[in-house]
Structures are given as structure tokens and as C-alpha cells.
Amino acid sequence: MRSRSFLEYRNFLYLKLSLLLMIAAIAAYILHSPAIGGYGGTWLGYVLGTLSAAIVCLLLWLGVRKRSYFGAGTMQGWLSAHVYLGLSLIVLATLHSSFQFGWNVHTLAYVLMMAVILSGFYGLYAYFRFPHLLTENLSEDSFESLLQEISKLDKLARVSALHLPDEIIALTNNAIYNTRIGGTVREQMRSQHLDCPTTLAVKKLHGLSKTLPMAQIKTHRELYTLMLRRETLVARARRDVMLRARLSGWLFVHVPLSLALLAALIAHVTAIFFYW
């Protein structure tokens, strides 16, 4: 799992570089005040626009760099640059546009860029928060070992249920065969399933204990304990799925939005030179 150190890469080199870029852009914007007011078509507008577009291309390149063992720099350095230069775009692209927004492809590029940056911040939060929670949830186990333990419990539960009334056998089988771990994207994102058959079995078994003859009480208690343990293991396995989905799921927003940004940017620049 990634440590916090990439943010501190080379003594905050990229944070310093980004701050420098932002301060220089703000100073130039204040000093440079054309008679017609600031807009993307002044020399400063072109400089800031070109710089912003170059940074976007560099950030997009992370997707390629991530998948190749060769190439300049370490992944830590690339990610550090990605985060801080991504941040600087908020200032550079906003000053480039001179706060002139409307219902057009230029503003679409800007909105998409902001959405990518926002999703990036969520990703950063996920990278620091979820790996720690994943370890805490699994402790010494792995996802596979949880499933194996559930399967062992199921064998024992099936044997115990055989000595109990049909209603209990049905509840047990329902828990064993119909409990889902994972499933649809929505189910993966939530660790609690409201209609979980294992939870239902635990609840109903508890109530049914009073209706049983003395001879079946001991077996019922054994089955109840097995189902309680099953419920705990299922909850941990679901939590693992949820945390892993949240750790990587945001990239399904970040990456398509990045590609949409690239398309809007190409349209923006093409439109500018077409109407020039």
C-alpha cells in the first residue's frame, strides 16, 4: 500500500514548483491588464492556456507510465507531480479563462477539468484512508480464508440443522445458499445488506428457541452459535469488498472524465483556431 511519502517527495519539490507557477501566474495576471480586459486570447491568456494544456497531457501520461516498467522517474515522483500540478491547474486555467464562462465548449473543458480534479481529491483521500481500514478489518485473515471458514461453518450447520424442525432447516439452507457477498456495484459499495438471509436466520433462530423440546435445545444452541459466527464473517467479507471497491472505484470516474476533458480540450483549441 502507498505511504504518505509521495506527497513529501524530494522535500516537497512539486508542491514548491506548483506554488511558484501559481504565484507567477497571479502576479502576471495582476500586472498584465489589457485595455479590453483579460481574456484567453491575450499573450498571457495563450501562455496560461498552453501551460494548462501541457500539464493536462502530463497528468494523462500517468495512465501510460503506471503500466510500463521503463521510463523516466519513479512512480512516487510521478504521483507527487500529478497531485500538485493537478492542483495548480485550478489557478492557471481559471486565470487563462479570465473568469469568462458561458454555455460553450470552452466552459465544458473547464468544468470537466474541475470535475477530474475533484475526483482526484477523493482518490487521494481513499489512498490514505482505506488501506488502513482494510488491514484492520482482515487482521490476520485474507478474503479467501474468510470464505473458507464460512464454508466450514456451513458444513457443520447443515449437520446440526438435520436434527431440528423443517422451519429451521429451511432457514439454515436459505442462509447458506442465498447469502450474497459482493454482487452488483451498489451492493459492493455497501457493507450492510438489509435483507441478508444469514441475519434473518440469526434473528428467527433466536425466537424459535422457546418453541423447541428440551432434547433439541443443545443442538439449537450449537446451530445458533454457528450462524452468529457466520454473520460476523459475512459482515467482514462484505466490508472487505466494500473497502476495495471504494479504494479503486473512483478511478472509473476519474479516468473517463480525464478522457472527456482531453476531447473537450481538443474541441476548444480547434474552435479557437477555426474562428481566429
Contact positions vs ligand HEM (CB under 6 A): 39-41, 45-46, 49-50, 52-53, 56, 59-60, 62-63, 66, 79, 82-83, 86-87, 89, 93, 96-97, 100-102, 104, 106-107, 109-110, 113, 116-117, 120-121, 123-124, 127, 251, 254-255, 258, 261, 265, 268-269, 272
Q: Decide if 14 contacts 84 (C-beta within 8 A).
A: yes
d(CA 136, CA 234): 16
Q: What minimum distance in Å lies between the beta carbon of 260 and ligand HEM?
A: 10
Is the Cβ of residue 79 or residue 168 nearer to ligand HEM in the bound state? 79
Q: Decide if 61 contacts 86 (C-beta within 8 A).
A: no
Is the Cβ of residue 131 or residue 165 nearer to ligand HEM in the bound state? 131
Q: What minimum distance in Å lies between the beta carbon of 96 and ligand HEM?
A: 5
Is the Cβ of residue 1 or residue 217 nearer to ligand HEM in the bound state? 1
What's the residue count for the chain? 276
Q: Decide if 59 contacts 120 (C-beta within 8 A).
A: no
Q: What minimum distance in Å lies between the beta carbon of 71 and ligand HEM?
A: 14
Q: What minimum distance in Å lies between the beta carbon of 57 and ligand HEM?
A: 8
For residue 6, give the nearest of 137, 155, 128 by alpha carbon.
128
Is the Cβ of residue 20 or residue 170 nearer to ligand HEM in the bound state? 20
Q: Which three cell numbers stand for residue 39?
A: 481574456
Is the Cβ of residue 226 or residue 261 nearer to ligand HEM in the bound state? 261
Q: Which three cell numbers stand for residue 80?
A: 507527487
Q: Decide if 17 contacts 55 (C-beta within 8 A).
A: no
Helix, strand, coil tally for the chain in percent (to 5): 80, 0, 20
Q: What minimum distance in Å lies between the beta carbon of 25 and ligand HEM?
A: 13
